[in-house]
Amino acid sequence: MNSSTQQAWHCPGVAVIGGGPAGLMAAEAARALGVAVDLFEAKPSVGRKFLIAGRGGLNLTHSDARPAFDQRYSRGQSEVCAWLDQFDADALRAWAKDLGVETFVGTSGRVFPTDMKAAPLLRAWVQRLRERGVSMHMRQRWAGFDVQGQAVIEGPDGPRVLHAKAVVLALGGGSWPQLGSDGAWLPWLKEKGVSTLPLEASNCGFDVGWSEHIATQHAGAPLKPIVAHWRDTAGVWHKRQGECVITSTGVEGSLLYAIGPDLRALIQRDGVAQLELDLLPALPLNKVLAILQQPRNGRSLSEILRRKLHLDGAKAALVREVLPREAMTDHARVASAIKALPLRLVATRPIAEAISTAGGVALNATIAGLQLQALPGWFVCGEMLDWDAPTGGYLLSACFASGKCAGEAAARSIL
């Protein structure tokens, strides 16, 4: 690309590239310090993934008190804690209230807008940003660097060289690429000497390799409540109660998201993660066995499982999935399968299907304010960075907090 023949974007202050929650917060934070801000978004409108996240009710943050809140970050915990010191869950709720959006704490501790919707909050936020002087440029995608090492923005009118005093990158990870976060930026930063790690699926489903019966007849069936038991890479046993869903290829859901880092580490090391599911956590093994050993009075095993143990069709099908036909007459083996159903997780689902990703820009590639060591004047925030957390409001909290951190630091760097 010959920059001498290109038009240019001249930004007198901070250029924010990416219009998700982290980018919008970076723009707001920088503008609040009196710096001119231009925001570039590849899609026709900002916050598209944010709106998708709010389809089932926008889980904005979580009511966990710190340090319990901080402990939900399995990677990058100390760095995320520093961001949260500047903008924690309470500050996020106060910020939403200032936009006219009241929030409440649900039964699980998750925090939602009272109307459960993302769109009203996003509309109010974008309106406020525009009123405060943030210039927004849609359909403008960062395309890396030209041969002179200058950043290039591509839009409907062709490529332009970006001239800005400071740049904040908020491009997301690699999940939901159709909404803009496709990870295309990774090699561009790596070539500039930025330390990066491969993107990996997080908050994702896992493949098991079901029989055709499970895959076709029980995909979509919920498993709740259940308790998962597993050993981590250090051989330590863990257990966690929750729920998940059978898919055509395996399992997914909040329970898997919460324990996903351990499962992914096992798959990376061993090629498989062994998981045991207690399908009836309210009943001890001896009680399950005693019920199975009661006289059937002509009833089938399926009827006993349904009526006496209240084991629904999907759970009963899983017991049959892991036991050979002849074992179904062995009460002890059936009881053991109900209380410790063995599952072999052989792979994560593809990144494009994941809710979020880990990997990306290594946290040690940044200095104070999330400035890139290899690119002075360039800052990063949000899911581009290598941190990890389960769903439940923790993802958005860190995105907002990192955006505020990067935006303020970018603004201060040019004041």
Encode pLDDT of 254-304 as tens digits.
999 999 999 999 999 999 999 999 999 999 999 999 999 988 887 888 888
Residue with tokens 């060289």: 161
**Residue closest to 405 by CA, chosen among 373, 378, 379:** 379
CATH code of the region 3-201+357-414: 3.50.50.60
User: Band of the pLDDT at 3, cuts 50, 70, 90?
Assistant: very low
The CB density around residue 311, as the number of other CB atoms within 10 Å, is 20
What is the predicted pLDDT for the residue at 6? 61
Whole-prediction pTM value? 0.93
What is the predicted pLDDT for the residue at 100? 97
Give Cα separations from 313 to 84, 243, 304, 366 (angstroms). 44, 16, 12, 51
What is the three-class DSSP state of 338? Answer: helix
Q: Are the CB atoms for 280 and 288 separated by under 8 Å? A: yes
What is the predicted pLDDT for the residue at 1? 42
Encode pLDDT of 223-259 as tens digits.
999 999 999 999 999 999 999 999 999 999 999 999 9
Q: Is the pLDDT at 2 greater than 50, yes or no?
A: no
DSSP track, 21-62: HHHHHHHHHHHHTT--EEEEESSSSS-HHHHHHTTT----EE
What is the predicted pLDDT for the residue at 93? 98
Measured between alpha carbons, how far is 149 from 133 in angstroms, rounded to an integer?
Answer: 29
The token pair at 262 is 């351990």
What is the predicted pLDDT for the residue at 162? 97
Q: Domain-by-domain residue ranges, the chain? A: 3-201+357-414, 206-348
User: What is the CA 324 to chain-centroid distance, rounded?
Assistant: 37
Encode pLDDT of 296-344 as tens digits.
887 888 888 888 899 988 999 999 999 999 999 999 999 999 999 999 9
pLDDT more than 90, % of the chain: 90
Encode pLDDT of 152-177 as tens digits.
999 999 999 999 999 999 999 999 88
What is the predicted pLDDT for the residue at 54? 84
Q: Would you call 274 exposed, middle or buried from its count of C-beta atoms within 10 A (0-12, 13-18, 19+)?
A: middle
Mean pLDDT of 137-157: 95
Q: Is the pLDDT at 5 greater than 80, yes or no?
A: no
Average pLDDT, rounded, for the chain:
95
Mean pLDDT of 75-82: 96
Encode pLDDT of 385-397 as tens digits.
999 999 999 999 9
Calculate Rg over the CA atoms of the chain: 25
DSSP track, 127-155: HHHHHTT-EEEES-EEEEE-TTS-EEEEE
